[in-house]
Amino acid sequence: IKQNVRCFFLRRFSVFSCFLSISPISLFKYYLSYLSVHHCECLIKQLMMTSWSRLQKITTVLFGAVGGASAYYFYTRKQETNTVFNSWTTNFQVSQCGKWDSNWDHRDPASLVKPLKKDSDTTDENKHNEKLEKATPKIIRHLILIRHGQYNQSGESDSKHYLTEIGRKQAAFTGDRLKALQINWDKMIKSTLLRAQETGSIISTSLPQVPVENCSLLEEGAPIPPEPPIGHWKPEYYQFFQDGARIETAFRKYFHRALPEQTKDSYTLLVCHANVIRYFVCRALQFPPEAWLRISLNHASITWISILPSGRVLLRGLGDSGHIPPEYVTCR
């Protein structure tokens, strides 16, 4: 069949070749080349139309996906930015650990006075109010917590934990700072460990009129397992059991609102240790006590806590070491 078709075309092209003076074979090849080019062009057009149609579909899908994602993002973002969390709005709830216990020291006047009876009269109410007035503190109690200076940490016992030369200078700078405040300090209470004893003695040279007391409850220790824990400091749990009770006892002894009979603000200096101070700060502010190790204190730094008559606690300064020259500031 192919041979017959070829002969048919050759006979037809031989007629045209006579007029064009071209051999039938050459004219036939020329026609085949023309058909091939024309066919290729058609194929290319079809491919281009198919590719363009497919590209249009892909582009439409992509733009639709991007547009939908953008609309969802801006919609949710608008909802988030329109949500207001203020302490006076109804959509804000105070967490359990954020609530303040006004009777944290068990010295709230309402807890010290016998409550009224249901059938009490005006006279009973007046007497009750007078008792409340007598039980209410009038002044502010200030506690200034001072960390000891840098000490020799290579010692195996407390007798070897004496202050370094830098630590002695740090204590002297802190003494000068306390003197410059021109406050009538009521007393200084020192931890019985050597480094706190030496720090307090150096401070006393700047405050010679301030009475000094010693208290073993203020010694360094492990108050409570910290959260989060750290790898390089892992005391035994019996240490937390022993030290925690002692340090908590020290907190309850010194941290409370003033006595009702006091007539002027009191200022007490406590020279002790970093773990003790950090635990005191968390307990006084009613923060989770497990967070104590998240705080860092420099040597001979000053932490100032004030207890108001209402029982509110103010942290006026935490680890203040600005009075120490930079070249003498250390933490460990």
Higher pLDDT, 10 or 58: 58
Q: What is the pLDDT of residues 106-157, one digit of tens each?
A: 999 999 888 888 777 788 788 888 888 999 999 999 999 999 999 999 988 9
Higher pLDDT, 81 or 322: 322
| CA–CA distances in Å: residue 94 to residues 26, 61, 123, 309, 319 | 98, 47, 39, 24, 28
At which residue do the structure tokens 């397992």 appear? Answer: 225
Omega before 228 cis (within 30°)?
yes
| CA–CA distances in Å: residue 5 to residues 1, 2, 10, 17, 164 | 6, 5, 9, 18, 114
The token pair at 70 is: 């953008």
In percent, the amount of the chain with pLDDT more than 90 equals: 58
pTM of the model: 0.71
Q: Does domain 140-229+237-328 have CATH number 3.30.470.10?
A: no
Task: Judge contact between 175 and 212, C-beta under 8 A.
Answer: no
The three-state secondary structure class of 271 is strand
Local confidence band at 22 (pLDDT 50, 70, 90 cut-offs): low
State the pLDDT at residue 19: 46
CA torsion 164-144-217-211 (nearest 10°) is 90
- DSSP class of 191: E
The three-state secondary structure class of 314 is strand
The token pair at 257 is: 């609102």
